[in-house]
Every structure is written in C-alpha cells, then in structure tokens.
Amino acid sequence: MKVAALDQLWVYLSGHPLLSLLVTLLAFTAAVRINRALGGTSLLHPVTLSIVLLIAFLLLVDMDYSTYFEGAQFIHFLLGPATVALAIPLYDHRERVRRLLVPLLLACGAGIVTAVGSTLGLAMLLGARAETLLSLAPRSVTSPIAMGIAEQIGGIPSLAAGLVLLTGSIGCALAPWVFRLLRVRDPAVQGFTLGLSAHGFGTAHAFARIGAVAGAFSGLAMGLTGLLTAFLLPLLARLFGLH
Amino acid sequence: MGMSVLLACQFLGELVARGLVLPVPGPVIGMVILLAGLMIRGKVPDSLRMTGEGLLRYLTLLFVPAGVGLMGHFELIGLDLWPILVTLVVSTAVTLAVTGWLLERLNRRQGGRS
C-alpha cells in the first residue's frame, strides 16, 4: 500500500472547497456548543465566536481569505434566498405590521437619524480620519447596501463592510441589556429594534433567540432601514459638512 | 419547488435592481416581490414554507463566511482603532435604546386607544 506524504495531502485538501466548507460548519457547531455551555450569554454570540475561531484557524494554517471563501461561498450564497424568504414571516404577521405601520416608520426614521448622527458626531469628536468617518456612517445597514452608500459618499467600501459586521455582533451583544434596562418586552418591538440597529445579524439573532414574530419585524426593519438610509445618508453627510 | 420560487424572486429582484440602477440589493427587492406574490395568492404554499423556514432557522450560520472577511480589514481598522470601537459600541447602544424606547411608547399608546 502506498501512502501519500502528509504535506502533499495538505496541499490537496487546503486547495479544495470541501475543507473550508467543513471547517465553517464545525466552527459554527462548536461555537453553538460553547455558547450553550456558557449559559447562552449574548456577549459571545455563536456567530461572533465562529468568526473568531475561523480567523484563528486561517491564520494558523496560513490560508488566505479568498481560498477559504471558495468553499465557504456555498454557505454565503444561501443568504440571498434566505433574505427573500423573510417575506414568509412578514406575510404571516401582515395584520400586525399594517396596524403598526405609522409607529414603525416613525421609529425607523428616528433610529436612522440617531445611528448616523451619533456615529458621525462621536467619531468626529474622537478624531477619526475622514475616510474612516465616511465608512462608519452606513454601519447599521446590511452590508451590500452599506458598501454602495460608502462608495457614493466617499468612504472605503471594504472597510464599511467590516464595520457593518462589527456593528452586527456588538448590537446582538448589547441588545438584551438595553431591552432589560428600558423594560422593552414586546417581541415585535425587540425584533424591529434589532433589525434596525444590527441589520442581518440582528435579524438572525431575533429568529434564533426571540422567535418568529421578532424575526418578521426584524426582517422588515432591515429592509426599511436599508431603503431609507440609502436616501437619507447623503443628505445627513452633507449636514455634517462631509460631502 | 420552494427553492425555485425563492431563487426566481431573487433573480427578478436582481434584474430590477441592476436594470433600474437602484442602490438596494437584489434579494431585498426579491423579498418585496415574494411578499406581493403571497398577498395575491392569499396563502403560503407548503413547500415554500418548508424551504423558507428551514433557511431562516440557520440564518445566523449564513453570515459566518462574510464575517470571516473581517480579517482583511484589520489593518484599516487598526489605523483608527479606538475611535472606531468607542463609536461603534456607544452609538449602537444609543440607537438600540432610542428605537426600542420610541417604538414601545408608540405601540403602547396605540394599544391603549384601540
């Protein structure tokens, strides 16, 4: 029997999409287990934890992101149909959405102005560079929209995408504390707030942790926030004298 | 069948987004198209519900590959590390608080009226 040398085997495996696909699923399973073992704490969200585990793994085996993504893109691809599928819970709860339409729109507008205003104000105060500032501005919007907006107002699209991801995990970590402090108990309100502040991460979190009603409202918030921000942000950036 | 419907809606959404040069991603428009379709049809077909809810159950997993992309941004983020971190944490907390508080109040007022 002939046995292949270990380094040759590794060269084959590391170039194969199967490896990154398997590693992603294993990291996620491990992250869910670890999170559960820690009592389901929101500070170490399974998504954040799997991202940390995977980045550590890639650095350890010296694999670059584009090689990793060749395998992981099969998971990434499902984000598209999953976003479309958000229409299903939205349809199920359409009566409630219709009844709450005006409050939802008002809260959405106020949330966006708060998000963009406090981000630009704080970052300016702390002395961030102009490119960073403009890449930070669209951070509470889902990443494809944020990248487009950043480009339009003069930020760096890839940095914007990274900041969007950070915002998502920070939002999921902070949300339970904020809700407890303000005594926000209605799942619809919790979901909408999560979707507005933490886009897709928040929506996924709402589905996994709070339930279908929260998920539906969260998906709605994510879509609305994306649409409204695309129109509002260039105006707000001009207001801050950035554009 | 369920998956074909989802992909068809995404495809149409992509077409509309690219065709009209909208700043909105195709899947979000696809979601609006599917919602309109469900409204017209008046119910969610079983196969669509099964596929859709299956995908949504694992929505968190689907964000992981994009999230790992963060490793490419360490350098840019490092240039402004503290302003970025402080801004993200404080501003996200404030956004959560303002939105949650406002919606809860408006919601309660409306609930009291009807």
Complex prediction ipTM: 0.86
Q: Environment class of residue A203 by beta-carbon count within 10 Å: exposed (0-12), middle (13-18) or buried (19+)? A: buried
Q: In the Cβ-directed half-sphere of A183, how many Cα atoms lie within 13 Å? A: 2
Residues B46 and B6 in one domain: yes
Average confidence (pLDDT) over B74-101 = 89
Q: Which residues, 6+ apart, have CB-to-CB distance to B86 below 8 Å? A: A122, A126
Residues B12 and B38 in one domain: yes
pLDDT of residue B38: 93
A196 close to A225: Cβ distance less than 8 angstroms: yes
pTM, entire model:
0.82
Range of the domain at B79: 69-114
Cα distances (angstroms) measured from residue B1 to each of A13, A81, B30, B50: 34, 13, 16, 10
Residues B6 and B50 in one domain: yes
Query: Along the 243 residues of chain A, how does pLDDT read in single tens digits?
Result: 677 777 777 777 777 788 889 999 999 999 999 988 887 776 777 888 898 999 999 999 888 888 898 888 888 888 889 888 888 888 888 888 888 889 999 999 999 999 988 998 999 899 888 888 888 888 878 777 787 778 778 888 878 888 888 898 899 889 999 999 999 889 999 999 999 998 888 888 888 888 888 988 998 898 888 878 877 777 777 777 765
pLDDT of residue A15: 72
Residues B3 and B56 in one domain: yes
| Token digits of residue A189 | 């309100």
pLDDT of residue A156: 82
- In a mutational test of the B interface, the residue from A49, A54, A64, A83 whose CB has the highest number of chain B CBs within 10 Å is A83
A169 CB neighbours in chain B (<8 A) are: 67
State which of B47, B62, B77 marks the end of a domain.
B62
Across the interface, of B26, B61, B68, the residue whose CB is closest to A65 is: B68
**Count of domains observed in chain B:** 2
Please give the Cα distance from A86 to A92 (Å, whole number).
Answer: 10
B107 CB neighbours in chain A (<8 A) are: 100, 103, 186, 188-189
Residue B92, chain A, CB below 8 Å: the answer is: yes
Phi and psi torsions of B58, nearest 5°: -105, 20
State which of B46, B62, B78 marks the end of a domain.
B62
- Cβ–Cβ gap B61/A184 under 8 Å: no
